[in-house]
Chain A
Amino acid sequence: MTVHRPPTDPTLPGPRMGRAGLVIAQVLVVALFAVLGARLWYLQVPMADHYRDLAVANHHQRLVVPATRGQILDAAGRPLVSNRTELVVSADYHEIMGMKDGGEKVLTDLSETLDVPVEELRQRMRLCGPEVERPCWPGSPYQPVTLAEDIDPAIALQIMESSDDYPGITAQAHAVREYPNGAEAGQILGYLQPVTQEELEAREELRTQFTGIDQVGRDGLEAIYDSELRGTAGERTFGVNNHGEVMDVIADRPPRAGMHIITHLDTRVQKIAEEALASGMKAARPRYKADSGAAIVLDVRTGGIVAMASLPTYDPAIWQGGIDQETFDELLSAEAGEPLLSRAVQGQYPPGSTFKVSSLSAAVENGYSLRSTYACPGSVNLAGQNYANYAGGGHGTISLHKAIVVSCNTVFYNFGYQLWVKDGGLEPEGEPKEAMSEMARGYGFGAPTGIDLPYETGGRIPDREWKRTFWEETRENNCRRGEEGYPEVAKTNPSHASYLKRLAYEQCVEGFQWRAGEAVNFSIGQGDVLVSPLQLVRAYSAIANGGTLYEPRVARALVSADGEVVQEIEPVVAGKVPVKDETIRYLQDALEEVTKSGTGRGAFADFPQDKVSIAGKTGSADAQNRQVSSWFVSYAPADDPQFAVVVFVSQGGTGGTTSAPIARKIYDGIYGFGEGDAAEPALPDGRPRAELPTVRPDGSIDPLDR
C-alpha cells in the first residue's frame, strides 16, 4: 500500500526515534509470537502422545468390579463356605495419613458415629509388621483399610451421604465368607486375608484385576483353588470431570463370578467324624493326654476325601475383618494346640503296628513265604539286645496271617533284623537293598501324597543313606559335645551329663551306621519312621482296592456360577504298590480278621459285620518322653471296599482302646448302624455320591439330599 506522506522535518528527533522504535517493536512482536508458535508446535506435535496419555489418565476412571467368589460345596451340594454381604467402613490409608493432624479429627468423628473407641480405629489404621500388635492392617496400604465391619445400614448411609465430613472414609458393601458348619473342616477350607504387597507384586493376575478390597486364600482349599474361586473381576471405565463426577461410561466389562468347588467331602460324615474324634479323645482323658487327633475318610476307588477332621480346630470366621492380637496369638500358641495345623495332612507320627503291612510285604517280596509259619516268642534277642512283644506274651509258632491279627512284634523284629543282615549289616558290601525302606516308599510313605491342600508333610522313611546324611549334618555338634561334654547339665545332674557325653561321642564316631536296633524298630513302625495320617489311610486304601495308590483329592469338580460343569477332577493314580496280588489278598484276609478276633475286636464286638465287614489294623506308637499314641486304620466293606478310615489320637493310648472305637462310630454313622441320628445312613446305600449336585443356571444349588 503506497502512502502519501506530507513533508516533515526528518531532523526532528520525535518522529525519527518513533519510526525506528516502531520497526523494532514490530520485529519484537513477530519474534515473541514466533516463540509462542514454536512452543505450541512442541506441545502439540512431538509431545502430543505424551499429553494424550496424561489426558486419558485425567478423565478416565477405572473401576474394578470384583467378581463374586465361588462357594465351596460338599458332595451333595450343601455349602461348606458361602457368601454373605455386609457393610464395611474403610479408610484410604494415604489420604488419612497425609492429613495435617494425621487423620485425628476424622477418626474421632468416625469413632462417635460408629460408637467404637477412637483408639481401636487408630490401631486398625496401622500396617502390620514385626513390631506391631494386632489389630493392625495386614494388607497393602493401597487398599482401603477396613475399620469396621458388619455395620448398621443407617450408619453406612450417613457416612456415604456426608462424605465431606468424613474425608478419606468410605462405606461399601462387601462380600464376606460364611462358614455354616463353624469349625468343622476348618483347616481344609482355609481362610481369606487381604492381599499383601508381596503377593501383589508376585502374582500377575492379582495385580491386573486388583479391586482394592481383594482378599486371597491363605490356607486350605481357599489357597489351592484361589484363582478358580476368585473369578475374573470386571472393569468399568468412566469418563469423569475434574470433580470426579461420572459423565459417561466409556467401557464396561462385567465381572465373571468365580467357580464353585464341589468337593468329595460330605458334611454329614464330616460332622460324624469330628464328633466321634472329639468324644473319643475326651474318653481317653484323663488317663491319657489325648492332646490332638485326626480322622480321615477316604474313597478307596478314587482317592476322594469324604471327611477329614483334625482336632483341635477353629472357626475360620475369626479371620473376617481384622483379627485381634489375642485371638491371633492363641491360634498360633502351643496351649491352644495349634488349631491352624491340620494333623491329618501336616502332622507326622511314628505309625507303630499299622506299619506291619509294609514290613510283611517287604519280607514276602524278599523270600519269606506266605505259607510258612514263624516263631512268635515273647521276646527276641537280636545283636545283643532284647526286644519284647507289646504286652510281653508270645503266641508260639504262627502264620503271617496271625502275626497281623494279633500284631506279633517279634515276628517282624526277626524280619527287620534278617533283612538288615542280608544287606550286610553295619558294613554293607555294594549297594544295600534296603528292602524294608523300599517297600515303605512303595506304599507311598516318605513323600507327600500330592493332595490338593497346602503344606503337606512327606513323613520320614529312614535308611542307611538317610542316616549318613543326618550324621553329616549333626556330626560337628556331636563331636564337640563328645569332647567338651555338657557342663551346663553337669552342674545339676552329673550322671545324666556323662551319659549325654558318651552318647554324643558315639554319634560322632559311628553315627553314620544304620544299626541293627534301628532296622528292628523300623519293622514295627518305630524309631525314626514318621508318617502322616493321610499317607497311612492312602496305603490301606491301596490294599483295599488291589494295590492302586491315588493322589488324594478334596475337590471333585469345578462348576461355573451358572451351573456348567467346567471340570471334573479325575482321580490321579500316583502308583502301584510293588506287591504281588497274592500278597494283597493275603493282607486283606488278615486285616478283615483283626476286627473279628484280633486287636480290634473289642471296638467292633457288636458291630454288624455280617452286613458290613470291617478290615483294619491297630497301632500303638511310642515316642520318647511321650505317652503312647493311638492308631486305627481300616477299610470297609471288606468284600467290596468303598471307604478307608484312619483315626489317630496323639498320646491317646493304644489303638484298640481309643482309635478303633472312634472309627467304629464313623462307620456306624456312614451305614446307619448307630442310634438316634446315626440310625439313618449318612451316605445313601453306604456309598460315596455317584452324581454331582446340580447348580441351576440362576446360581441356586439343588442339593442331592432334599
Chain B
Amino acid sequence: MTVHSPRARGIDLGRTAVTAAGAARRLDWVLLLAVIALCAIGSLLVWSATQPGDGGNPLDATEHLRKHLIHLVVGWAVCLTVASVDYRSLRAYAPIVYVVTLVALILVLTPLGAVINGSRGWIVVGGFQFQPSELAKVGLILVLATLLGEPRDGEVRPMTRDVLFCLLALALPLALVMLQPDLGTTLVLGVIFLGMLTLSGAPVFWVVGMLLVGVAAGFCVWWFDMLEPYQLDRIATLVDPSADPQGAGYNANQALIAVGSGGFDGTGLFHGEQTHGRFVPEQHTDFIFTVAGEELGFVGAGLVIGLFTVILWRILRIARGCDQPYPRLLCVGVASWFGFQTFINIGMGLGIVPVTGLPLPFVSYGGTALLANLLALGLVLGVNSRDRGFE
C-alpha cells in the first residue's frame, strides 16, 4: 500500500528542515484560532455542566475541568506534533493506525471492554478510560485517503478495484462498532466513507450507487428494527417530543427547554437552572450544546455554530487548495466527520435530529474524542502548511 520511495522521503525530510519555520507561519491561523476559541468555550461549559448543583462556589468543583484541561494539553501536543510532521510520512503509519484501531475495537468486545451508557465501547485500564471507536474514525480517514488518493496502475482517479478495497477497509471497523453497538459512530464512519468517495473522483456509478446504498442502509436499519428499541423510540419522539415527556422523549424535551429558556442572552455561566438541576442527561458530553444554549443564550450558542461553520469552511478551503488527491481527501474525510458529527449533535440539542450519542467536537468532555479531534486537526493543519504552494 505504501508507495513512497526513499528518494521522496529524503526530499521531504530536507524540505522539512528548511521550511520548518515557514511552515508555522503558514499554518491556517483562522482555523487554529476558531478551534482554540471552541476549546475555551468547551472548557467553560464542561466546568459549568459538572457543578454539583448545590449552589456552591464553582471554584470548588473543578474535578472534571482539570481532567478536561489535561485532555486538552495532551490533545494539543499531539495536534501540533502531527501538524509539524509531513503528512506524506504519515502515510506510512496509516496501516499501523488502522490495524491498531481494529485490534482495539476487537478488544472492547472481550472482557477487557466496559459498557458505558448501553454501549460496549470502552477499554478501561487502571482507571484510564479509552474509546477506540473515536480513533477508528482517524484510522479510517487515513486508510481511505491512501486507497482513494493514490490509485494503482497509473490511474489518475480511483477505479472499481480501489473502491472495493475501500469498502473492505470500511466494513471491518463498521461491523465492530455495530457490535458494541454504537449507532452514532457507525453513522459517522459511513458518512466519512461517503464523503471521501464522493469527492475522490471515483466512477459516478460507484458514487451514486454508494450514496443510494447508504440511504437504503440507513432506512433498512430503521425499518428492520436493527436499532435497539430505545433508538426507535427516539426517532418516533422526534416527530412529537411532547408525546411522552417522561419516557423516550424526555431527553429531547428537556434539551429543548434548556435551550429555549436561555433566551437571547442566556442565564449566564453557572446560572442555568436546567443545567444545574441535571434535567438534561449527559450534559457535559453529548448534550453540552444545551448548556451553551441555556447559559450563553443565542449569542453564545450562535457563536459556537458560527465557529464550526468557520472551521468547516477553512478545512474545505484547505482541501480546495490541494493539488494532490491524498491530502485533499484527508481534509475531506476530516470535514465529513466534523461536519456530520457537529450537525447531528447540535441538531439533537435543538430537537431536529433524533437523539444519538455523539459528542460535540472540541467542546464535549471526553479524552479520546478530544484527542482524536485534535489529531485530525493536526493532519489538516499539516496539509495546509505543506501542500500549498508546493509541487
Q: Which residues of A approach B to under 8 Å, CB–CB?
A: 3-6, 8, 12-15, 17-19, 21-23, 25-26, 29-30, 32-33, 35-37, 39-41, 43-45, 47-48, 50-52, 54-55, 58-59, 239-243, 247-248
Q: Is the CB of B317 within 8 A of A26?
A: yes
Distance (whole angstroms) from the CB of B333 to the closest CB of chain A: 12
What is the CB-to-nearest-CB distance from B48 to chain A, in angstroms, rounded to a whole number?
15
Interface residues of B (CB under 8 A from A): 53-55, 156-157, 195, 198-201, 254, 256-264, 273-274, 276-279, 293, 297-298, 301-302, 305-306, 308-309, 312-313, 316-317, 319-321, 323, 325, 328, 332, 335, 339, 343, 346-347, 350-352, 388-391
Measured between alpha carbons, how far is A12 from B262 in the docked complex, in Å?
52
Cross-chain contact A55 with B201 (CB below 8 angstroms) = no
Question: How distant is the Cα of A593 from the Cα of B359 in the complex, in angstroms?
Answer: 103
Which residues does chain A contribute within 8 Å of B302, judged by CB atoms? 37, 40-41
Given A4-B388, A26-B317, A33-B308, 16 other A-B residues pairs in contact with their CB atoms under 8 A: A14-B325, A22-B320, A25-B199, A25-B332, A35-B352, A36-B346, A39-B352, A41-B298, A50-B260, A54-B257, A55-B261, A59-B273, A59-B274, A239-B277, A241-B279, A247-B277
- Return the chain B residue nearest A53 by Cβ: B261
Known: A33-B309, A36-B343, A43-B260. A241 touches B199 (CB 8 A): no
Known contacts A18-B200, A58-B277, A59-B274; A36/B350 CB under 8 A: yes
* 19 pairs, CB–CB < 8 Å, chain A vs chain B: A14-B157, A17-B201, A18-B199, A19-B320, A25-B199, A25-B316, A25-B332, A29-B335, A29-B339, A39-B352, A40-B302, A44-B264, A44-B293, A48-B260, A50-B260, A51-B260, A58-B279, A239-B277, A242-B278
Contacts of A6 in B (CB 8 A): 323, 389-391
In the complex the two chains form, is A44's CB within 8 Å of B259's CB?
yes
B57 to chain A, nearest CB (A): 15
CB distance from B266 to the nearest CB of A (A): 9
Q: Are A12 and B256 in contact (CB under 8 A)?
A: no
- Hey, which chain B residues are within 8 Å of A3, CB to CB? 321, 388-389
Instruction: Select which of A29, A54, A239 is within 8 A of B313 by beta carbon.
Output: A29
Q: Are B316 and A43 in contact (CB under 8 A)?
A: no
Asked whether A48 and B389 contact (CB < 8 A) given A22-B319, A36-B347, the answer is: no
Contact B198 A239 (CB under 8 A): no
Asked if A247 and B279 sit within 8 Å, CB to CB, the answer is: no
What is the CA–CA distance of A21 and B331 in the complex, to the nearest angstrom? 13
- Given contacts A19-B320, A43-B350, are A25 and B335 in contact (CB under 8 A)? yes
Contact A55 B305 (CB under 8 A): no
- Closest residue to A6 on the B side, CB-wise? B391
Q: Chain B residues near A26: list those with CB within 8 A.
A: 312-313, 316-317, 320
Inter-chain CA distance A55–B273, complex, in Å, is 8
Q: What's the least CB distance linking A92 to chain B, in Å? A: 15
Q: Which of A37, A40, A41, A241 contacts B276 (CB 8 A)?
A: A241
Q: Which residue of A lies closest to B313 (CB)?
A: A26
Say whether A44 contacts B277, CB under 8 Å. Answer: no
Residues of B within 8 A of A29 (CB): 309, 312-313, 316, 335, 339
Question: Are A36 and B274 within 8 A (Cβ)?
Answer: no
Q: A6-B391, A44-B298, A52-B261 are in contact. Are A248 and B55 (CB under 8 A)?
A: yes
> How far, in whole Å, are A13 and B200 apart by their CA atoms in the complex?
10
* Chain A residue, CB-CB nearest to B260: A51
Greatest chain A CB density within 10 A among B199, B321, B391 is at B199
- Of all A-B residue pairs in the complex, the 3 with the closest CB atoms, nearest first, are A51-B260, A55-B261, A14-B201
- A25 to B309, alpha carbons, bound, how many Å? 12
Question: What is the CA–CA distance of A206 and B298 in the complex, to the nearest angstrom?
Answer: 42
B53–A18 touching, CB < 8 Å:
no
Q: Report which of B54, B260, B305, B321 forms a contact with A37, defined as CB distance below 8 A.
A: B305
> Are A47 and B260 also in contact (CB < 8 A) when A13-B157, A40-B298, A248-B55 are?
yes
Whether B343 lies near A48 (C-beta < 8 A) is no
Residue from B259, B264, B323 in contact with A5 in the complex, judged by beta carbons closer than 8 Å: B323
Q: Contacts A22-B199, A59-B277; is A14 near B156 (CB within 8 Å)? A: yes
In the bound complex, how far is the Cα of B198 from the Cα of A242, in angstroms? 45
Expressed in whole angstroms, the Cα–Cα distance for A32 and B344 within the complex equals: 11
Instruction: Select B301's contact among A4, A40, A47, A48, beta carbons within 8 Å.
Output: A40
CB of A44 to closest CB in B, whole Å: 4
Q: Nearest-CB distance from B76 to chain A (Å)?
A: 24
Residues of B within 8 A of A243 (CB): 278
CB < 8 Å neighbour of A40 from B156, B293, B317: B293
Contact B256 A43, beta carbon cutoff 8 Å: yes
**Once bound together, how far apart are the Cα atoms of A248 and B278, in whole Å?**
14
Using CB atoms, name the residue of chain B closest to A57: B257
A294 → chain B closest CB, angstroms: 58
- Which residue of chain B lies nearest to A34 when distances are taken between CB atoms in the complex? B309
In the assembled complex, the Cα of A71 lies from the Cα of B388 at a distance in Å of: 91
Contacts of A21 in B (CB 8 A): 198-199
Q: In the bound complex, how far is the Cα of B339 from the Cα of A8, in angstroms?
A: 29
Q: Which residue of A is nearest B54, CB measured?
A: A247
The reply to whether B309 and A30 contact each other, CB–CB distance below 8 Å, is: yes
For residue A58, which residues in chain B have a CB less than 8 angstroms away from its CB?
254, 257, 273-274, 277, 279
A239 to B199, CA, bound (A): 53
Which residues on A sit within 8 Å (CB–CB) of B298?
A: 40-41, 44-45
Q: Which residues of A contact B200 (CB under 8 A)?
A: 14, 18
Q: In the bound complex, what is the Cα–Cα distance between A377 and B313 (angstroms)?
A: 124
User: Which residues from chain A contact B260 at a C-beta distance below 8 Å?
Assistant: 43-44, 47-48, 50-52, 54-55
Please tell me if the beta carbons of B259 and A51 are within 8 angstroms of each other in the complex: yes
User: Chain B's nearest CB lies how many Å from the CB of A26?
Assistant: 5
Cross-interface CB contact of B297 among A4, A44, A242, cutoff 8 Å: A44
Give chain B nearest CB distance to A519 CB in angstroms: 75
With both beta carbons as reference points, the residue of chain B lying nearest to A30 in the complex is identified as B309
Q: Are B273 and A51 in contact (CB under 8 A)?
A: no
Q: How far is the CB of A134 from chain B (nearest CB, A)?
A: 34
* Chain A minimum-CB-distance residue to B319: A22
Q: Chain A: which residue is nearest B155 at the CB level?
A: A14
What is the CA–CA distance of A8 and B258 in the complex, to the nearest angstrom? 52
A353–chain B nearest beta-carbon distance, Å: 74
On chain B, the residues within 8 Å of A50 by CB distance are 260
* Docked pose: A241 CA to B389 CA in angstroms: 57
B310 to chain A, nearest CB (A): 10
How far is A561 from B30 in the complex, measured between Cα atoms in Å? 72
Q: How close is B363's CB to chain A, nearest CB, in angstroms?
A: 14
Quick check: A239 and B157 within 8 Å, CB to CB? Answer: no
Contact of B264 among A12, A19, A48 (CB under 8 A): A48
**How distant is the Cα of A50 from the Cα of B256 in the complex, in angstroms?**
11
Residue of B nearest to A250 (CB): B273
- Are A8 and B320 closer than 8 Å at their CB atoms? no
Nearest-neighbor residue (CB-CB) of A26 within chain B: B316
Find the A residue at minimum CB distance from B340: A32
Compute how far the CA of A18 lies from the CA of B197 in the bound complex, rounded to whole angstroms.
10
Partner of A18, one of B264, B277, B328, B352: B328
What chain B residues lie within 8 Å of A18 (beta carbons)?
Answer: 199-201, 319, 325, 328
* Distance of A54 Cα from B323 Cα, bound (Å): 53
User: In this complex, which of A4, A14, A248 has the most chain B Cβ atoms within 10 angstroms of its Cβ?
Assistant: A14
- A23 close to B320 (CB less than 8 A): yes
- Kindly provide the distance from the CB of B50 to the nearest chain A CB, expressed in whole angstroms: 14
Is the CB–CB distance between B257 and A55 below 8 Å?
A: yes
A99 to chain B, nearest CB (A): 14
A239→B277 CA distance, assembly (Å): 8
Chain A residue numbers with a CB within 8 Å of B316 are 22, 25-26, 29
A245 to B: closest C-beta gap in Å: 9
Whether B276 pairs with A45 at a CB distance below 8 angstroms is no
A548 to chain B, nearest CB (A): 65
Chain A residue contacts of B308, Cβ below 8 A: 33
A32→B388 CA distance, assembly (Å): 28
> Is there contact, CB below 8 Å, between B262 and A44?
yes
Bound form: Cα–Cα A568–B185 in Å = 78
CA distance A43 to B254 in the complex (A): 13
Tell me whether B321 and A241 are in contact (CB under 8 A). no
Complex CA distance for A58 and B264, rounded to whole angstroms: 20
Closest to A45 in B: B264
Residues of B within 8 A of A5 (CB): 323, 389
